[in-house]
């Protein structure tokens, strides 16, 4: 008789997963399942569903080769119970197992579902991260402001990454000021490593196209890595081919190049095919070998060792209600152009088009284009959160929610960000080539053809003045607004409101 069931979820595809380490192949059975509850609680991008299912199927075979018995349920299996709890109950009845060992999921929704499942459950913390819940809470306790930079410095010292003695390599903790160059005239890499679908992937693509025909985006063409070896090859390719120039151009955007020097490995990290330490060590080794400059390597490591670990800490510290926070009281519906309807704003159109086609956009496209517009326009942050969770292949709630609710939409009231990340069209013009072919003029502040970002920037500041006028980081913005002629301010607000009204009425804007 089977002693226990070992649950492995679709973002827990790591050989050293806590539940697997606590199990015994001689007497335990691994349960893996493609269930509709997980595939459809938001309308996930078909590429994301295909990536997760294909990677799950290959990981199941990896476990079998290592000696595990794996009970695997495909989405279209007639016996599929439709939920993780339902599958555990079914497998417990089949095997006689009396207990489930699970690694803590990365979403409160699923944690609660497992806790409410009528089986004996032993839930272990996910120790693939470099900072445990307790470690993060020790850092956060008693602090007035939970700023990532200070957490990051402690993590650097603890891990020894980019540390020489007790000091930061290169003499500084942060080289961000060197990593804000505008888009280059020429990109010298062909982008992330691509993989031709094998028979396993093709079968999954057929399944996804059949079962999710109306989801935003398309499953094909599909080129993501779907196993550990491919993911490691993708990392190695990035380190050699793109990391040396990653830092310089990590904030840049180009009409004709969707990836520039970005790694596109976050989906592999978040699914467990790569480990954060190995990724950081690969980048550090490139710097120590003289292959990549310190600004590129530090900026890359900060995203993983600093930001990724930090937002996970925030998510679990703040609790299940975090995704419903709305500190600014914004309640406008998400515009249809986020789902592909026409918009004349080229930067937004290009970011959404790329998201639809690739299930990917880099952090500045997310923060300063689609996120910036939603914040300026007063969109309900929960709708923004659910959009980001649905459309990106690397999105799981533990990482997506703090980035959206906190960093992008300021809906947590300033736990993550010390000020809202809003900007006029000037920032997008500086960091991209989108504005040259746009129907709007980024240099026009009012009147026909004025860039909507210019109008909405001041509209946002005006309507939230009571909250932000005393913020030292925003004082200059308000001084600039106050120096404007009263008639000009009235024109800006009127034209911004007219834009919002037309957008809400469904007109193409």
Q: 28-44: per-residue pLDDT in tens?
A: 999 999 999 999 999 99
Q: State the average pLDDT over residues 11-22.
A: 98
End-to-end CA distance of the chain: 64
Q: 206-255: per-residue pLDDT in tens?
A: 999 999 999 999 999 999 999 999 999 999 999 999 999 999 999 999 99
Q: How confident is the model at residue 3 (pLDDT cuts 50, 70, 90)?
A: confident
Which DSSP string corresponds to 74-110? -TT-TT--SSHHHHHHHHHHHH---EEEEEPPSSHHH
Report the pLDDT value the prediction gives residue 424, as an integer from 0 to 100.
97
Kindly tell me if the per-residue pLDDT of 177 is higher than 90: no
Kindly tell me if the per-residue pLDDT of 166 is higher than 90: no
The Cα 390–Cα 352 span in angstroms is 13
Q: 58-74: per-residue pLDDT in tens?
A: 999 999 999 999 999 99
* 471 contacts 465 by C-beta, under 8 angstroms: no
Cis peptide before 231 (omega within 30 of 0): no
Kindly tell me if the per-residue pLDDT of 129 is higher than 70: yes
* 439 contacts 452 by C-beta, under 8 angstroms: no
4-124: CATH class:
alpha beta
Q: What topology is assigned to 133-192+242-318 in CATH?
A: 1.25.40
Kindly tell me if the per-residue pLDDT of 469 is higher than 90: yes
- Domain ranges for the chain, please list them: 4-124, 133-192+242-318, 336-504
Kindly tell me if the per-residue pLDDT of 355 is higher than 70: yes
Q: Which residues contact 469 (CB under 8 A, 6 or more apart)?
A: 475, 478
Helix (H) or strand (E) holding 211: helix 199-211
Q: Percentage of the chain surpassing pLDDT 90?
A: 96
Say how far residue 186 (Cα) sits from the centre of its chain: 27
Q: 312-343: per-residue pLDDT in tens?
A: 999 999 999 999 999 999 999 999 999 999 99
Q: How confident is the model at residue 16 (pLDDT cuts 50, 70, 90)?
A: very high
**Could you tell me the two tokens for 345?**
């704003």
Q: How confident is the model at residue 360 (pLDDT cuts 50, 70, 90)?
A: very high
Q: 392-433: per-residue pLDDT in tens?
A: 999 999 999 999 999 999 999 999 999 999 999 999 999 999
Q: In terms of DSSP H, where are the helices of 242-361? A: 243-249, 266-271, 276-288, 294-301, 309-318, 346-358
Which DSSP string corresponds to 114-139? HHTSSSEEEEEP-TTSSS-HHHHHHH
Q: Which residues contact 382 (CB under 8 A, 6 or more apart)?
A: 323, 324, 326
The Cα 46–Cα 206 span in angstroms is 11
Mean pLDDT of the chain: 97
The Cα 171–Cα 481 span in angstroms is 39
* 58 contacts 200 by C-beta, under 8 angstroms: yes
Q: 89-127: per-residue pLDDT in tens?
A: 999 999 999 899 999 999 999 999 999 999 999 999 999
CA distances (Å), origin 25, targets 30, 89, 166: 9, 20, 43
Q: What topology is assigned to 336-504 in CATH?
A: DNA Cyclobutane Dipyrimidine Photolyase, subunit A; domain 3 (1.10.579)
Q: How confident is the model at residue 1 (pLDDT cuts 50, 70, 90)?
A: low
Cβ atoms < 10 Å from Cβ of 38:
23
Torsion over CA: 295, 297, 303, 306 (sign): negative
Kindly tell me if the per-residue pLDDT of 131 is higher than 70: yes
């Amino acid at each position: 008789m089977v002693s226990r069931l070992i649950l492995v979820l679709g973002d827990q595809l790591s050989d050293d997963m806590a539940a697997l380490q606590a199990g015994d192949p001689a007497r335990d059975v691994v349960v893996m399942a493609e269930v509709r509850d997980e595939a459809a609680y938001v309308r996930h991008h078909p590429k994301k569903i295909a990536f997760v299912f294909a990677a799950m199927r290959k990981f199941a075979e990896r476990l079998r080769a290592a000696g595990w018995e794996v009970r695997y349920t495909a989405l279209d299996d007639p016996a599929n119970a439709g939920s993780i709890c339902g599958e555990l109950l079914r497998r417990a009845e089949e095997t006689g197992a009396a207990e489930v060992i699970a690694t803590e999921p990365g979403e409160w929704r699923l944690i609660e579902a497992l806790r409410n499942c009528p089986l004996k459950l032993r839930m272990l913390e996910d120790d693939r991260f470099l900072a445990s819940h307790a470690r993060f809470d020790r850092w956060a306790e008693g602090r007035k402001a939970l700023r990532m930079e200070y957490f990051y410095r402690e993590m650097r010292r603890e891990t020894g990454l980019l540390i020489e003695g007790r000091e930061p390599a290169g003499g500084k903790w942060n080289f961000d000021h060197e990593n804000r160059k505008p888009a280059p005239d020429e990109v010298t890499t062909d982008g992330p490593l691509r993989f031709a679908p094998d028979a396993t992937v093709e079968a999954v693509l057929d399944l996804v196209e059949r079962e999710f025909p109306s989801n935003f985006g398309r499953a094909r063409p599909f080129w993501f890595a779907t196993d550990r070896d491919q993911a490691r090859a993708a990392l190695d390719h990035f380190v050699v081919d793109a990391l040396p120039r990653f830092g310089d151009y990590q904030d840049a955007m180009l009409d004709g190049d969707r990836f520039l020097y970005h790694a596109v490995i976050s989906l592999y990290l978040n699914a467990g095919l790569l480990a954060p330490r190995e990724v950081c060590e690969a980048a550090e080794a490139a710097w120590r070998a003289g292959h990549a400059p310190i600004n590129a390597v530090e900026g890359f490591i900060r995203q993983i060792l600093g930001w990724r670990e930090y937002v996970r800490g925030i998510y679990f510290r703040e609790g299940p209600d975090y995704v419903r926070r709305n500190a600014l009281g914004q309640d406008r519906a998400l515009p249809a152009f986020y789902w592909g309807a026409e918009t004349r704003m080229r930067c937004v159109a290009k970011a959404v088009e790329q998201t639809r086609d690739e299930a990917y956009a880099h952090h500045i496209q997310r923060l300063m284009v689609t996120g910036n517009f939603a914040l300026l326009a007063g969109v309900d942050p929960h709708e923004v959160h659910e959009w980001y969770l649905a459309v990106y292949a690397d999105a799981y709630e533990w990482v997506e929610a703090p980035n959206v609710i906190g960093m992008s939409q300021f809906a947590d009231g300033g736990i993550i960000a010390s000020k809202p990340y809003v900007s006029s069209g000037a920032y997008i013009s500086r960091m991209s080539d989108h504005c040259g072919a746009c129907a709007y003029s980024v240099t026009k502040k009012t009147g026909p053809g004025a860039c909507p970002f210019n109008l909405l920037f001041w509209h946002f500041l005006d309507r939230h003045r009571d909250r932000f006028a005393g913020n030292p980081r925003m004082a200059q913005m308000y001084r600039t607004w106050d120096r404007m002629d009263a008639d000009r301010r009235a024109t800006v607000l009127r034209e911004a409101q007219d834009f919002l009204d037309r957008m809400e009425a469904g007109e193409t804007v």
